[in-house]
């Protein structure tokens, strides 16, 4: 994970051909397919390596199954090694690992590209400065002199406060 932004995965690759050709899925009712897809989505968005709690009441709620999750659907999830209170779907877990790796590579490439842009910008802040805010905003005294030259009038601290409040809307 990055120090800048945590990786947030909200989508997963859904191979429709694999899903529909699966003998397990082919033997499910429409209700069971719905439960299965809802549990896969809940596991993905749970962010805990695609694990779900091994609690029939919680699973029923996540799957919108008032009478409980079908045993056929529950059978698609295995106990996490060393954590019997959690379950996971092996295929979804592999997709999660691959998506994490792709996201980290994309994030690293984006950070390198941003750093390269900053380094190539004329008048960019020196490398020893810290914080993106300094690099983007520059020196505060410089921005004050610009605002004075634009308005032609020096503003009082109260006027500057009102201006900053109204201009941020």
Confirm whether 134 is domain-assigned. no
Instruction: Look over the chain and give the mean of its residue pLDDT values, rounded to a whole number.
Output: 74
Total domains in the chain come to 2
Residues 6 and 77 in one domain: yes
Residue 85 has phi, psi (to 5 degrees) of -80, -5
Domain shared by 81 and 160, yes or no? no
Cα gap 114→111, rounded to integer Å: 5
Does residue 164 surpass a pLDDT of 70?
Answer: no
pLDDT of residue 102: 74
Same domain flag for 35 and 67 = yes
Residue 159 or residue 57, greater confidence: 57
pLDDT at 53 over 90: yes
Question: What band does 58 get if pLDDT is binned at 50, 70 and 90?
Answer: very high
In a domain, 93, yes or no: yes
Say how far apart CA 150 and CA 144 lie, in whole Å.
10
Instruction: Report the pLDDT averaged over residues 41-56.
Output: 88
Do 98 and 39 reside in the same domain of the chain? yes
> How large a percentage of the chain has pLDDT more than 70?
63
Find the helix or strand (DSSP H, E) in which 56 lies: helix 56-62
Pair 25, 100 in one domain: yes
Same domain flag for 71 and 146: no
The range of the structural domain enclosing residue 89 comes to 1-129
Q: What is the pTM of this model?
A: 0.58
Q: Are residues 10 and 34 in the same domain?
A: yes
Comparing CA positions, the residue from 8, 5, 13 lying closest to residue 100 is 8
């Amino acid at each position: 994970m990055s120090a800048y932004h945590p990786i947030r995965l909200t989508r997963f690759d859904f191979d429709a051909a694999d899903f529909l050709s699966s003998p397990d899925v082919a033997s499910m009712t429409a209700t069971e397919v719905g439960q299965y897809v809802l549990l896969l989505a809940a596991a993905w968005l749970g962010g805990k390596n695609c694990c779900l709690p091994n609690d029939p009441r919680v699973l029923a709620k996540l799957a919108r199954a008032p009478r409980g999750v079908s045993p056929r659907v529950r059978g698609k999830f295995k106990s996490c090694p060393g954590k019997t209170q959690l379950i996971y779907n092996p295929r979804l877990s592999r997709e999660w690992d691959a998506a994490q790796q792709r996201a980290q590579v994309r994030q690293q490439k984006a950070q390198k590209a941003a750093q390269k842009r900053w380094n190539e910008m004329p008048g960019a802040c020196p490398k020893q400065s810290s914080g993106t805010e300094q690099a983007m905003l520059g020196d505060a005294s410089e921005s004050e002199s610009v605002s004075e030259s634009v308005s032609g009038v020096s503003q009082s601290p109260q006027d500057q406060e009102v201006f900053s409040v109204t201009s941020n809307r």
